[in-house]
Chains A and B, each alone.
Chain A
Amino acid sequence: MATQQTQAPVMTELAGQTLMALRTLTEDNPASLDTYIKLGGYSSLKRVVSEKTKATDIITAVKNSGLRGRGGAGFPTGLKWSFMPRYFDGVKYLVCNTDEGEPGTFKDRDIIRYNPHQLIEGMAIAAYTLGARVGYNYIHGEIWQDYEIFEAALQEAKAAGYLGENLFGTNFSFDLYAVHGYGAYICGEETALIESIEGKKGQPRFKPPFPASYGVFGKPTNVNNTESYASIPWILQHGGEAFAALGVPNSGGTKLFSVSGHVEKPGNYEVKMGMPFTELLALSGGIWKGRKLKAVIPGGPSTAVMPAEAILKATMDYDGLSKAGSSLGAGSMIVMDDTTCMVKTLQRLSYFFYEESCGQCTPCREGTGWVYRVITRIVNGQGKMEDLELLTSVSNNIAGRTICALGEAAATPVLSFIKHFRPEFEYYIQHGKSMVEGK
Chain B
Amino acid sequence: MLSPEATAKIEYELTKYPADQRQAAVMSALRIVQTERGWLSKESITEVAQYLRIPEIAAMEVASFYNMYDLTPVGKYKIAICTNISCMLRDSDVIVDHLKAKLGVDFNEVTPDGKFCLKEGECMGACGGAPLLIVNNHTMHEFLTPAKVDALLEELK
Contact = CB atoms under 8 A, between A and B. Distances in A.
A293 to B, nearest CB: 13
B118 interface: no
B122 interface: yes
Given A184-B65, A217-B18, A100 B26 contact: no
Interface string A366-391: 00000000000000000000000000
B139 A356 contact: no
B26 to A, nearest CB: 4
Interface in A279-322: 297, 301
A139 to B, nearest CB: 10
A142 B134 contact: yes
B126 A198 contact: no
A141 B125 CA distance: 10
Interface string B72-106: 00000000000111101110000000000000000
Q: Taking each of B85, B139, B140, which has the highest tally of chain A beta carbons within 10 Å of its own beta carbon? A: B85
A106 interface: yes
Interface of A: 91, 100-106, 109, 136, 140-145, 177, 179-185, 196-202, 217, 258-262, 266-268, 297, 301, 332, 334-336, 340, 345, 348-349, 352, 355-356, 358
26 contacts: A136-B16, A140-B124, A141-B137, A142-B68, A144-B140, A177-B16, A179-B27, A180-B31, A182-B30, A184-B66, A185-B123, A198-B21, A199-B27, A199-B58, A217-B18, A217-B21, A260-B86, A260-B128, A261-B86, A266-B128, A267-B128, A297-B85, A340-B89, A345-B85, A345-B89, A348-B84
Given A182-B69, A352-B85, 20 more contacts: A101-B123, A105-B127, A106-B128, A142-B68, A142-B124, A145-B138, A182-B66, A182-B68, A182-B137, A184-B65, A184-B67, A199-B23, A259-B128, A260-B89, A260-B128, A261-B85, A262-B89, A266-B86, A297-B85, A355-B122
